[in-house]
């Protein structure tokens, strides 16, 4: 049996949520706290920060509530979670000896002269989009040239050959346009992901700062109560 300080646990949950996005129920299970009881006192950060006065009133009379701790109590859950996240990031890197991690990727091994791969190793997605646009323009120019040649054909056999060339150029144009659209969507998605990551970092930093401020305010109030109690006893 142990006495729980719900205000301190609230601050602890806010920090865990900022780092991992864990739900209240999952956090309580990890901490060995009864969720049915905890959900009355532990709230999401946005609720706490938007309703500081209400949060203070709710927690005032439940600070020393007794909680059965027979469930396995896992301390330092936030630290463990951070370690797991770092481990997951490290595991995404290919291990030594992995054939997919070689400098020139898998295609280079099929070419005797690998010097060309040194020139394109730093190419970006935008470079590939520009290349496909150039191919699309070249295909349009080919179609126009073949159509002009078609009007100058002297025999049906020559016309048939030119028509095949026109069809081939049009198909190349269609492939280039489709590829441009696909690459542009991918590039936009990457940019959105990067912006989301930066936003998430900023939100996490802000939440942690607010949690520290809340913890400091709680410590000041607790110290003030203890001083009053000491004077009364004296």
Phi-psi region of 119 (alpha: psi -120 to 50; beta: other; left: phi over 0): alpha
pLDDT one-digit tens code per residue, 117-160: 666 666 788 888 888 899 999 999 999 999 998 888 888 888 89
Say how far apart CA 136 and CA 107 lie, in whole Å.
25
Say how far apart CA 219 and CA 79 lie, in whole Å.
22
Say how far apart CA 27 and CA 32 lie, in whole Å.
9
In the chain, alpha helices (H): 6-20, 24-31, 35-38, 45-50, 52-60, 77-91, 115-120, 125-150, 156-233
CA atoms within 13 A on the CB side of 153: 16
CB 77 within 8 A of CB 30: yes
CB 71 within 8 A of CB 32: yes
Domain-wise residue ranges, the chain:
2-88, 125-234
Say how far apart CA 177 and CA 167 lie, in whole Å.
15
Rg of the chain's alpha carbons, rounded to an integer? 32
pLDDT at res. 95: 46
DSSP 188-213: HHHHHHHHHHHHHHHHHHHHHHHHHH
Burial zone of 224 (CB within 10 Å; 0-12 exposed, 13-18 middle, 19+ buried): exposed
pLDDT in tens, the chain (234 residues): 467 888 888 888 888 888 888 888 888 998 888 888 888 888 888 787 776 545 454 445 444 444 444 444 444 444 444 444 444 444 444 444 444 344 445 666 666 776 666 666 667 888 888 888 999 999 999 999 999 988 888 888 888 999 999 999 999 999 999 999 998 888 888 888 888 888 888 888 888 888 888 888 777 666 655 544 444 443
């Amino acid at each position: 049996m142990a006495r729980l300080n719900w205000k301190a646990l609230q601050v602890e949950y806010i920090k865990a949520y900022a780092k991992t996005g864990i739900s209240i129920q999952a956090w309580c299970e990890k901490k060995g706290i009864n969720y049915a009881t905890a959900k009355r006192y532990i709230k999401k950060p946005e609720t706490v920060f938007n309703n500081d006065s209400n949060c203070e009133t709710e927690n005032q009379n439940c600070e020393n509530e007794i909680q059965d701790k027979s469930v396995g109590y896992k301390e330092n859950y936030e630290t463990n979670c951070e370690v797991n996240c770092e481990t997951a990031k490290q595991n995404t890197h290919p291990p030594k000896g992995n054939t997919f991690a070689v400098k020139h990727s898998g295609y280079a091994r099929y070419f005797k002269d690998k010097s060309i791969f040194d020139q394109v190793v730093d190419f970006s997605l935008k470079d590939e989009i520009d290349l496909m646009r150039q191919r699309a323009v070249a295909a349009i120019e080919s179609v126009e040239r073949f159509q002009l040649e078609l009007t100058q054909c002297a025999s049906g056999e020559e016309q048939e050959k030119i028509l095949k060339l026109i069809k081939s150029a049009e198909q190349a144009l269609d492939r280039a346009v489709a590829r441009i659209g696909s690459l542009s969507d991918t590039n936009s998605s990457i940019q959105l992901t990067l912006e989301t990551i930066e936003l998430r970092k900023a939100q996490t930093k802000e939440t942690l700062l607010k949690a520290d401020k809340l913890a400091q305010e709680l410590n000041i109030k607790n110290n003030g109560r203890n001083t009053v109690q000491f004077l009364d006893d004296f």
